[in-house]
Structure 1
Amino acid sequence: MRILICEDSVLLREGIARLLTDAGHEVVAQLPDATALEAAIRASDPDLAILDVRMPPTRTNEGILAAIGIRSRGDRPRVLVLSQYVEERYAADLIASGPAGFGYLLKDRVADVRDFLAAIEQVANGGTVLDPEVVTQLLARRRRDARMERLTPRERQVLALMAEGAANQAIADRLYISAGSVEKHISAVFQKLELDPEDGNRRVLAVLAHLDAPGSDPSRPHDAPGGIR
């Protein structure tokens, strides 16, 4: 199998390359970052690309964004992502970005060489390999998303203004409603998000749920003063 490796850690990159070569695979390219990834794929035509999630220059999401781009264009090369952490939002995008033939493994949880090589073979053959921790966190994210869907449009507006740091009276002024109505909406938000009344950080937790929700945008209540109550 022809394999491309894109990993900024030289020791890990060389170690993976040696492991793959010893297993009979051909490492056609080794890259320290994603800047030349597209050119390397065109030049070497790999069957599989192994990508780190966080690489230079920002060390945030270069690798997984590159993986999403590769998968969105077709089924070659197959993609195996290696990461130190579960990037929930991008992991979900990776899964949805194309057909089967991809994997997402956590580096610290790859404990057996044979399992790693088997995962590579499975991905190359069109299968899907996900670390159990990735699945667990994605399921938890889906549950959070489901809670957000319970909110009414007005409750979402109130929550969005809370995320901006607005106090209750400021929210009332922005939405042209009473402070009492704001308190009722906030109570409904807490209840629908299943936040424990004994938790003194409910406001913070609610804001975090809002910020974590896909497509969460600030509300524009000033555009519709006579809108939803």
Structure 2
Amino acid sequence: MRILICEDSVLLREGLVRLLEHSGHEVIGAFADTTGVAEAVTREQPDLCILDVRMPPTFTDEGIKLALELRAAHPQLPVLVLSQYVEERYASELIAGHGGAFGYLLKDRVTDVAEFVETLERIAGGATVLDPEVVAQLLTRRSKDTRMERLTPRERTVLAALAEGRSNQAIAALLFLSEASVEKHITAIFQKLELEQDEHGNRRVLAAIAHLKNAGGTQLPTQAAQNRQTGSTP
């Protein structure tokens, strides 16, 4: 895929360029600030745009404001916000806004290079991937959502996996369910959380937000637990 990067740290910017090119992708632009990025996106039509939040000259919100502008001007452009910070003033608008695929990851929580590249490819392919810490910080002051009490334990587990940005196929593999069972659980989750269908697929994002807002009791199977399991659909 063709990727455009906007990152002021020269080490991280060059590191991303090398990583992505080594992974077989093409970096069509690597910018140290937001100057000229919008024009480059219009001209080059990248498959994915990676943006930092705090950029020159003020190092406050230039990057995330640019992300909002790009999503407004190019609704189908997949955008990944990759930052050390959760910018609360704009993050909720980015997450809930109508537009193309979207990701918000915290730099310090990216620990696996191969998984990171896979996440980029998923976002470019239409997925929405949110770092749980991002949404948790946005929702720490909000009251508990009583709609979550309507979910069964299995639905809560499926929702926890969905909140990590997993596809239906990945959830099925993780929880040893059939894809049909996962689809049935997700449909029930949407109904119980009163999330209406829309053309942008934002129900998955809104369901993830509802889960993360109430997180604490639902644990996904650990790798060791998965390795011990040999059964099929519960």
SS state of the match for residue 85, structure 1?
Answer: coil
The runs of at least 4 aligned residues of structure 1 exceeding 3 Å deviation read: 141-144
Alignment partner, residue 119 of structure 2: 119
2: CA distance, partners of 1:42 / 1:100: 15
Structure 2 counterpart of 1:61, one-letter code:
D
Percent of residue pairs identical: 60
2: CA distance, partners of 1:38 / 1:98: 19
Structure 2 counterpart of 1:122, one-letter code:
R
Say whether residues 1:101 and 2:93 are aligned partners: no
Please give the per-residue CA displacement for 1:184-220, whole angstroms capped at 9, x wherever unaligned: xxxxxxxxxxxxxxxxxxxxxxxxxxxxxxxxxxxxx
Alignment partner, residue 5 of structure 1: 5
* Count of residues paired in the alignment: 144
**Higher gyration radius (CA):** 1
Please give the per-residue CA displacement for 1:57-88, whole angstroms capped at 9, x wherever unaligned: 00000000110111123334210001111112
2: CA distance, partners of 1:98 / 1:36: 24
TM norm structure 1: 0.60
SS state of the match for residue 143, structure 2?
Answer: helix
Segment of structure 1 superposing worse, 92-101 or 120-129 = 92-101
Alignment partner, residue 31 of structure 1: 31
- After TM superposition, the structure 1 = structure 2 runs for residues 70-109 of structure 1, keeping only pairs within 5 Å, are 70-109=70-109
SS state of the match for residue 140, structure 2?
Answer: helix
Alignment partner, residue 59 of structure 2: 59
Distance change >3 Å, CA 30–CA 58, structure 1 → 2: same
1: CA distance, partners of 2:122 / 2:143: 29
Q: RCO higher in 1 or 2 (8 Å CA, sep ≥ 6)? A: 2
SS state of the match for residue 143, structure 1?
Answer: coil
1: CA distance, partners of 2:59 / 2:131: 22
8 Å Cα contact 1:64/1:81 also seen in 2: yes
Structure 1 counterpart of 2:55, one-letter code:
M
